[in-house]
Structure formats: structure tokens, C-alpha cells
Structure 1
């Protein structure tokens, strides 16, 4: 009887050792690489171009999910300063990125200029008789849409142009301030404004407006789109890779397609 019990115990112990040994020598299954999400806070004027760039990037990086938060550069800057989540910031003006850099909110060495743009005066497509900025002082022009200069770079550039031309005080009562440059475009498209100041790239995507004149660069600060990775990013390495892709040939081709001037 004792021999049988001893044999049973021996078999049980051997079986346990065998199972334990197999677990020790068998490698754990490789855990599939989980998806990484990036949130890019970007100027509204970049919407179509960045949305077209997204699938191009994901062809080689299928595990990276790119999400966008489009808006006025000044508003996006404030969101970031107040702790809103974001991995990358792309502004339509230098001032907003300068402010974040001064506050130590950017990852050092990641700042770069994505593209440049031009400022244009637009009117509804059926409007005739407007050929220059000076026509904005005419009595038939009742409303001029422009971005809020304090938060919308296009509005700031527009104000600079009107002041340089000496007509700002005359047209100021006609100004209708918008929260971003796409609202300016929509106002002119709908006829709610007789004219508006937008980027050349905004006018290019609409068949309801026409460009009257392009502002001379000497009348406003350089229109540049700086970008950088934010220190608050939880995926800084992935964000750096996407920023690097934005400076490459595929992304530049898309930006050029939409009328941006690339470095």
C-alpha cells in the first residue's frame, strides 16, 4: 500500500515539475503592438491638407492614429497653456509658438517651419467692381469679414495690411470679426459679408468666391506655419516621427497641391 502511495506521489510531483518546466522554457506569446494615438492641434487653414496627409502617413505607420483639433491658432495656444491634451501644435503664426516656447512648453529641438502662405482679399463670385483694398472704403461695401486679430493670425495680418494702406480707420466700422479664418470664408461664400481677408489656400478650396488682390508681403508680418512637439505629449517619440514626416516629400507635395509655399 505504501509503495502505491509513494508511486502516486512520485508521478504527481514529476507531472508538476514537467508542467512547471514547460512554462519556464516556453516563451510568452508576443503581445501585439497596441495602437498609439496622436492629437495634433492645428490652424484651421490646414484642415484639408492635413486630412489628406493622414492616410499617407498611416500607410507606413498603421498603428499610429492621427487625430486633429482645428481652430484659431490663438485659441489653440490658450487651450495648450491651460493644460488641454495635445501632442503637436501647428500655428498659422509665429507669435503663438513663441509664447509656448517662452513658457517652456515645447520639446527642445522639435520646432520647425512647415509652410508659408499669402493673404488675399476675396468677394462673392458674382460681385463686380472691386479691384483693390481701397475699394473697401466704398459705400457699397457694408460688411468686411476678418479674423479676430488677437486670436486669429489671418486677422492680425489683415489688420496690418489695412493699417499700412491707411484705410483701417475708414473700414473699421464695417469689420465683422470671426473666430477663425474658415468662418471668414463662409461669411463671404454665403453673402453675409461683401468681402473678406483670408489665406490664398482658403480661397483656393472654394468655388463661391474670387480673389480680388493678393496683399504685398511688405504690408504684413511673414505668414509662416511653425510647428513643434509639446512637452505634455505622452507619445513624444511618435510625435517626433510624424513631425519628421510632415517635412518630407509626400507631405510637401500635398501642401503644394493646396497652394501652400513649402520651404
Structure 2
């Protein structure tokens, strides 16, 4: 090998080594970067918690890692040992399940926000309903189905079923449901035109321009819709407690209010 070829080979090797070292350094830096608390939250909390996480990150904190699904699915994941620092449920029942299983940190449970239950229709629909005893829900559906979150375990579905039973119209529509895995999925069935009507939270309806509120259930037709939040015993993130305090602060309450949630009280 000539002197020139050897020189080129040495130079190329040096460049490759430098590139590999730089890549390794970047990878190590990413691995060493602090991460925010893992938050498992009800699907209906998506937009509000994304905003809260953005505000928290702008202040120099590691951005929380957010995961959204039905409260029932998240509670089961936590019971199965899924790593998480904070749980936000769409009802008290699933938080009760974790508390009975001794999976919550003592004295960290609190109510974060409240919500309302509504009937949604497509934005171009002229349907308007007043949910009172015996109201004509089945007639309003026509030949279509009622989009609703799964009624046995998902909080939004359970609130919906309770309200329809209380108002005496459950039997009229029980075999005409279009079940969904969570409330956001039910909302999308209406938004896409797959169902003429659905039942969702008021906050979800407000976030989707393809739907409109066709009726609001009276508060006495179902149990109060409260969102409890708690720290989890299995959590390890040092910022979890501070982020929960932020969510429960006046500033946090203002974020939830902007998204249509009611006050915790």
C-alpha cells in the first residue's frame, strides 16, 4: 500500500471513529436526560393535560409522559404493574379499586375537575333533545345506533347507562348501541357519521368541530362526574408530586376551565 493510500485510510478511520464517538455521546446524552413523571389519564383529559404538560415544560421541567385510555383499562394496567407515577380517572370507582389494592400513595388523592354528560349529533344535524323521563331518544336515532363508551366498565359508558335507566329509556336503545373502547372513540363515531347520535362528556363535544351538543343530561340522572388524581406507590419520578400540585393549583384549574371542565368543588 502506498504512503498516500495509507494516509487516506488512516484519515478515513479517524473520521469514522469520530462519528461513532459522536453518535455514542448523543445516545448517552439522550439516555441521561431527565424525564418527566409518567401520567396515565382518562381519554377525556387528553387536551387539557397536554396543555398543562406544555406549560410545565416551558418552565424548565422535564415534560410529563402522558398516556390516555379508558380509566378501566389504565387501572388494570396499574394493577398489573405498569410503570406510572400519577393516575387520573374519569370516575371515583376505578380510583377506589386502586386504593383498595393499596396502590396509591397515602393522602395524595384529590378531585381535579368535574364534567357534564351530553348527547352529541353531527354538526350539520338539526336534532335537539331534552333528556327528561321518557324522552324520544329511540325515535331520534331513526335507523341508526347510539355511540357510547362500553357501558360495563368505562366511566363514560356507565354514566350514560345510569342516566338512560334513570330516565326510563334504556330498554328502548339497549340493543341499538354502537359501543366504543372509550369516550373519545364514541365521539369519533358520530364525527365520522358512523352513528347519528352519541353520549359523551361536554368537554369532548366542545373539542370536536364535527359534532354539536344536541342535549344535556340533568345532573340528577347520574352520579357526579368527578376526576380524581393520585400519586401511585410504584412511581419513582422525583417530579411527580410537584406536577400533581401544579395540576391542583389555581393555575391548573384555569387550564381545565379553558377546556370546559367544571371546578373540583
Q: Which TM class, normalised by the smaller chain length?
A: 0.7 to 0.9
Cα distance in 2, alignment partners of residues 210 and 132 from structure 1: 14
| Contact preservation (8 Å) 1:201, 1:258 | yes
Rg larger for: 1
Give the TM-score normalised by structure 2. 0.83
2:142 to 137, 140, 143: 140
Q: Partner residue of 1:159? A: 161
- Residues 99 and 113 of structure 1, relative CA distance in 2, 3 Å threshold: same
Please name the residue that 1:14 is paired with.
none
Deviation at 1:38, TM superposition (A): 1.2
Q: With structure 1 as the length reference, what TM-score do the two structures score?
A: 0.83
Matches for 1:165-180 after TM superposition, within 5 Å = 165-180=167-182
Contact 1:74 1:151 (8 Å CA) reproduced: yes
Q: CA deviation at 1:208?
A: 1.2
- For residues 214-248 of structure 1, the C-alpha deviation after alignment (integer angstroms, 9 at most, x for no partner) is 1111010110000100001012x421111000011
Shift of 1:60: 2.9
Structure 1 residue 165: Cα displacement:
0.8
Match of residue 210 from structure 1: 212
Cα distance 1:185–1:45, how it changes in 2: closer, same or farther (>3 A)? same
Kept in 1: contact 2:54–2:63 (CA 8 A) = no
Equivalence for 1:90? 88
**Distance in structure 2 (CA, Å) of the matches to 1:125 and 1:65:** 35
CA distance in 1, matches of 2:261, 2:127: 28
The number of residues matched between the two structures is 229
- Aligned partners of 1:88 and 1:229 also within 8 Å: yes
Matches for 1:1-263 after TM superposition, within 5 Å: 35-62=34-61, 64-133=62-131, 134-138=135-139, 140-235=142-237, 237-263=238-264
CA distance in 1, matches of 2:185, 2:57: 30
Look up the match of 2:23: none
Residue-by-residue CA offset, 1:86-132 (whole Å, 9 max, x unaligned): 11000000000001001100000110100000000011122224423
Q: Per the alignment, do residues 88 and 153 of structure 1 end up closer, same or farther by CA in structure 2, a change over 3 Å counting?
A: same
* Distance 1:129-1:59 versus aligned 2 partners, 3 A rule: closer
- Whether the 8 Å CA contact 1:35–1:65 is kept in 2: the answer is no
Structure 1 segments of 4 or more deviating over 4 A? none
